[in-house]
Structure 1
Amino acid sequence: MDFSPEDNNNLPLTKFESMLKTNHVLFFDSEEFENIIHHYLNQGKIALAKKAIKLSLDQHPSSVNLKLFKVEVMVFEDKLDEADEMLNELHLLDPTNEEIYIQKANIFSKRDDHHQAIKVLKTAISLTDDAVDLYSLIGMEYLFLDEYEDAKTYFMKCLEEDQTDFSSLYNIIYCFEFLNQFEDAISYLNMFLDANPYCEVAWHQLGKQYLVLKDYNKALAAFDFAIISDDTFVGAYLERGKVLEKLKRYQDAIESYTITLTLDDPSAFALLRIGNCYEKLKKNDLALQFYSKVTREDPSLDKGWIALTRFFYKKKDYNKALSYINSALNINSENATIWKLYSQINQRLKFYEEAEKGFKKTLELGNYELNTWLSRGDLLIKLGEPEAAIFNFEQAVDFYPDNAELEYRLAGLFFSLNENNKGIFYLKNGLKHNEDYAFIIEELFPDVANKILVKNILKTNL
């Protein structure tokens, strides 16, 4: 039992808190103490829970249930050896108390001995008539072990006992998704919905499975049913909007997203999607209006600033785009996409050193797209840093072996440094893999293209 301000059962709590203020020790029966301690633990008020536990055991020193609260706090504070010792004593006094087994399992779990935790919890099942909580705890232990099939089985047992246990439903779907069993998830959800046709959570999850499988019409129908079941379900309207975007029904998507703004505080995500839809409809003034709203609603959301950057980049207003991408970088300087955009804008503005710095950072953050290597290397050539360009392209070859665009560039660089043997090697490789890119030599290295040696190789092989 928990206390609420409207509940007459909060009298023991009021009495207890009054006692703490006056230091006059009052008597409470053990059940009242249990409710007081339970309330404080639920509220996360551990210090008050500990005071209540101490006073309760002073008045009821033989109460197993009160001692179990003490164990629970010990486990929470990682005093595992003390808790384990106390549990062993309590087990001798009350060997059929399921809570003893639950706390024992908690200790095993905290020690990463999840198999032993499961074994203890399974023993506890035989001691209770209501095993739902135990099934859930076992399911969580299997999740810790990455044993998703077993976890799924136990969460399903929870849902069989209590069909409003949406936490277990979410965990079941999580297991299906982790195992890439999307069709099985759909079958399970349809079976569940046969028995619970107005369960908005199940319809919502069903829609998400169809969305993964790109079956957009079925996904849309599922989200519609979720909304019929609960017309205030913000998540269903958002997902419905995503599907309508996939179907290129942008005006309908806008309407779905707009409803969420009336049901809850404005969501930066919804505003962003509305802006994107208006941009798709070529209603640029409205798109800009909503992108700007995103940055006002949540200035710390980098996606809003990225949207504004791309908007002005497409309009070739590179100075504004640079201003907005700098705002995005101030929020998140570890995002490769932002750095790549930063580089592309600086390149357009002919700020080559800044552009090269951005591409370098993009690579450091794990964006190994061929275009990123090529762009950075070409900038290093333009900046008169051939050795750095060579190092860049040689790294790129590790990711893209036998790529002619890289090999012609390396050939040009080595010839320009009079390392003719290496130049010949890469030039012949480039010609072997793709003759069509031979123009790179003339375009990036005109002096090299005029060398007799290079002309002869090109003439012989083209």
Structure 2
Amino acid sequence: MALEANERPNKPIAKFESMLKTDDVYFFDAEDFEDIIHHYLNHGKIALAKKAIKIGLRQHPDSIALKLLDVEVLVFENNLDRAEDLLDKLQVLDSSNEEIYIQRANIYSKKDNHEAAVKLLKKALNLSEESYDIHSLLGMEYLFMDDFKLAKECFMRCVDFDDQDYSSLYNVIYCFDFLEDFEGAIVYLNDYLDRNPYCEVAWHQLGKQYYSKHMFKEALTAFDFAIISDDSFIGAYFEKAKVLEKLGKYSEAIENYEITIQIEDPTSHAYLRIGKCYERLGNDEMAKYYYYQTVHEDPLLDKGWLAITDFYFLKGDLDKALHYINKALNIDGENPTYWKKSANINAALENYDQADFSFKQAVDLGNYELDTWLNWANVAKENHDYLSGIHILAQGREFYPESAEILYKTAGLHLLANDKINARIGLIDALNKNSEKLHLFEEEFPSYFKTEWTQNIISNNKRASR
């Protein structure tokens, strides 16, 4: 049985949840159901939202607003055909309801037909008195279409409507960044801050813009204002520390990174940066301590393992460097950067077979950097496997067809393989590409460089190029 009004909970949501726990039936206004459903949707409680819609439509079967919320859930759950059928019926009843066009636009967006979604949202704009949400949806559709200029304009309208809409503010700056209009972003943020001088989000974004333009003093000032506006803003302390690092103020950078750890649970990235700062200050013990903390906090952070490895590599302790890169590979054997580092360490230790294997793994996993091909070919040369070195460089040339380094090294390997015909072709090709880098051939293959055979090729090339 239904309770009397004075026995029922006052708030619709509490009242609704009380009803669900009993067999009692309460009556709600359609507007109350809308509030209840919106509450559950905003909190991601879809099952409860669906219950509220079902009960609401029983009590108010003609409510278009509740039916549109039913459509919203259907779209969210990808029941697009059912949603379209319901929208067709609703459009007959109320063809001037902007929410119908908005939900149709959501369906088209789900189907990746963003142009059609934009057209429908523009229709909704013409019907709506409150266009704020529609401009936000339009902005997202333009982002999907990679039209960052129009997306930026839509999100700017949202910020104009609500200065506290930080999501739209972030999107505005994202568009500026993608358009590489850093000056425009700085002007926009300064104008915004004239109206909202204590907005830590805007100061933080302004600091990042200055940082991208290497205007480090201005960036520092912006991050300081972000911290003044909110002294618990971790992002501002972290970015300020990065600027201080760039300015060589490592002790101050450490202080700011440590503040981020004090405010919230420590992060591997903060530990890593602190370790880097201590290393630059020459405090090896503290650097090691924080590098170890980095990988303890996040064993999958490749930069942490690489920092420890590089630390020992630079100190000349190759065995320890190899030990730590192998630990990293045991954790993540699919990381091409780890394999490349392993290859370089093994090459320095003259473990050429292992270095060759590691370079192959790095390439198989997608590392195609120029120095990977060159260093791998060096390993083949040290193994006196000149034909493999030539093959490696041929693969590298597919990625770097204009590389004089590859061409000069290839010519030298052909000479080592006693193949003067291809060596001549390769050397002439290298000279034609870039004769100024001939010193590379001279430095790596000095005995061949001095021969009359090589000097004749160089002389003939000079005469031909005049």
TM-score calculated relative to the size of structure 2: 0.88
For 1:282-297, what aligned pairs fall within 5 Å after superposition? 282-297=282-297
Q: Aligned equivalents of 1:14 and 1:404: distance in 2?
A: 74
Cα deviation digits, residues 86-115 of structure 1 (max 9, x gap): 112112223333322221211121222222
Q: 1:456 aligns with which of 446, 452, 459?
A: 452
Q: Deviation at 1:140?
A: 1.0
Paired position in structure 1 for 2:342: 342
Deviation sequence 1:407-460 (CA, Å, 0-9, x none): 4543344345443322333345557735532353357xxxxx59xxx9430354
Distance 1:260 1:346, change over 3 A: same
Matched, 1:79 2:75: no
8 Å CA contact 2:12, 2:36 repeated in 1:
no
Describe the SS at the equivalent of 2:442: helix
- Equivalence for 1:247: 247
Tell me, what secondary structure is at the counterpart of 2:61?
A: coil
Letter aligned with residue 386 of structure 2: P
2:207 maps to 1:207: yes
| Pair 8,360 (structure 1): closer, same or farther in 2 beyond 3 Å | same
Distance in 1 between residues matched to 2:313 and 2:217, nearest whole Å = 34
- Does the 8 Å contact 1:105/1:121 carry over to 2? yes
Contact persistence 2:105–2:116 (CA under 8 A): yes
Does residue 1:91 correspond to 2:87, yes or no?
no
Match of 1:14 among 13, 17, 34: 17
CA contact (8 A) 1:12 1:32 kept: no
Which has the higher mean CA deviation after the structures are superposed, 72-81 or 356-365? 356-365
1:268 aligned partner: 268
Which of the residues 421, 427, 444 maps onto 1:440? 444
Q: How many residues in Structure 1 have an aligned counterpart in Structure 2?
A: 446
Which one is further off, 74-83 or 418-427? 418-427
The aligned amino acid for 1:421 is I
Q: Deviations over 1:305-353 (max 9, x none)?
A: 1111111111222222122212333444444432221111112222212
CA contact (8 A) 2:201 2:226 kept: yes
For residues 286-310 of structure 1, the C-alpha deviation after alignment (integer angstroms, 9 at most, x for no partner) is 1111111112222222221111111
Distance in 2, Cα, partners of 1:348 & 1:362: 17
Alpha-carbon spacing, 1:7–1:271, altered in 2? closer, same or farther (3 Å): farther
**Aligned-residue offset at 1:7:** 9.2
Alignment partners' CA distance in 2, 1:110 and 1:223: 39
Matched residue, 1:144: 144
**Are the counterparts in 2 of residues 302 and 331 from structure 1 also a CA contact under 8 Å?**
no
Quote how far apart the aligned CAs of 1:245 are.
0.6
Instruction: Tell me: CA distance 1:329–1:225, structure 2 relative to 1, closer, same or farther (3 Å).
Output: same
Secondary structure (helix, strand or coil) at the match of 2:127 reads: coil
Amino acid at match of 2:453: I
Unaligned runs of 5+ in 1: 1-5, 444-448
Amino acid at match of 2:454: L
CA distance in 2, matches of 1:435, 1:112: 53
The answer (yes or no) to whether the contact 1:430–1:438 under 8 Å persists in 2 is no
From the superposition, tell whether residues 419 and 302 of structure 1 become closer, same or farther in structure 2 (CA, over 3 Å). Answer: closer
Q: Distance in 1 between matches of 2:224 and 2:414?
A: 63
Distance 1:103 1:402, change over 3 A: closer
Give CA deviations for 1:197-243 in whole Å, capped at 9, x if unaligned: 11111110000001111111111111111111111110000000001
Q: 1:16 deviation in Å?
A: 3.4
58-67 or 286-295, larger mean C-alpha shift: 58-67
Instruction: Measure, in 1, the Cα distance between the counterparts of 2:429 and 2:122.
Output: 65
Give the whole-Å Cα distance in 2 for the aligned partners of 1:26 and 1:245: 63
1:102-121 to structure 2, matched below 5 A, reads: 102-121=102-121
CA–CA distance in structure 1, aligned partners of residues 328 and 147 of structure 2:
40
Query: Which residue identity does 1:247 align to in structure 2?
Result: L
CA distance in 2, matches of 1:455, 1:184: 60
Q: State the secondary structure of the residue aligned to 1:78.
A: coil
Q: SS where residue 36 of structure 1 aligns?
A: helix
Name the CA shift for 1:227/1:322 in 2 (closer, same or farther; >3 Å).
same
Task: For residue 361 of structure 1, report the CA deviation from its aligned partner.
Answer: 3.1
Matches within 5 A, 1:115-134: 115-134=115-134
**Cα distance in 2 for residues equivalent to 1:7 and 1:304:** 55
Q: Note the alpha carbon deviations across 1:25-49, whole angstroms, 9 max, x for none.
A: 5544433433333333233333333
Structure-2 residue corresponding to 1:193:
193
Deviation at 1:150, TM superposition (A): 1.0
Q: CA RMSD in A?
A: 2.6
Q: Are 2:408 and 2:438, in contact at CA under 8 Å, matched by a contact in 1? A: no
- Whole-angstrom distance in 1 between the partners of 2:106 and 2:431: 66
- Residue segments in structure 2 that go unaligned for 5+ positions in a row: 1-8, 459-466
- How does 1:209-248 map onto structure 2 within 5 Å? 209-248=209-248
Q: Which amino acid aligns with 1:192?
A: Y
Between 1:141-150 and 1:406-415, the stretch displaced more is 406-415
The question of 1:281 aligning with 2:284 is answered no
Distance of 1:439 and 1:242 partners within structure 2: 39
1:429–1:61 CA distance, 2 compared to 1 (3 A):
closer
107 and 310 in structure 1: CA distance in 2 versus 1, 3 angstrom threshold: same
Offset of residue 268 of structure 1: 1.4
Q: Offset of 1:79 from its aligned partner?
A: 2.1
User: What is aligned with 1:3?
Assistant: none
Residue identity opposite 1:67 in structure 2: K
Structure 1 residues 9 and 60 mapped into 2: Cα distance closer, same or farther (>3 Å)? closer
**C-alpha separation between the residues in 2 aligned to 1:415 and 1:52?**
81
Q: Could you tell me whether the CA contact under 8 Å between 2:268 and 2:294 is conserved in 1? A: yes
- The Cα of 1:78 is off from its aligned counterpart by 1.9
Aligned counterparts of 1:402 and 1:9: Cα–Cα separation in 2: 71
In structure 2, relative to structure 1, the CA distance for the partners of 1:193 and 1:400 (3 Å cut) is same
1:394-433 to 2 correspondence within 5 Å? Answer: 394-400=394-400, 405-429=405-429, 433=435
Residue in 1 aligned with 2:463?
none
Aligned to 2:4: none
Greater displacement, 278-287 / 47-56: 47-56
Moved more, 232-241 or 351-360: 351-360
For 2:285 and 2:350, the matched residues in 1 are separated by: 29
Residues 94, 237 of structure 1: alpha-carbon distance in 2 compared, 3 angstrom cutoff? same
Is the alpha carbon distance of 1:185 and 1:430 closer, same or farther for their aligned partners in structure 2, counting shifts above 3 Å?
closer
1:457 partner amino acid? W
Separation in structure 2 between the aligned mates of residue 115 and residue 187 of structure 1, nearest angstrom: 31
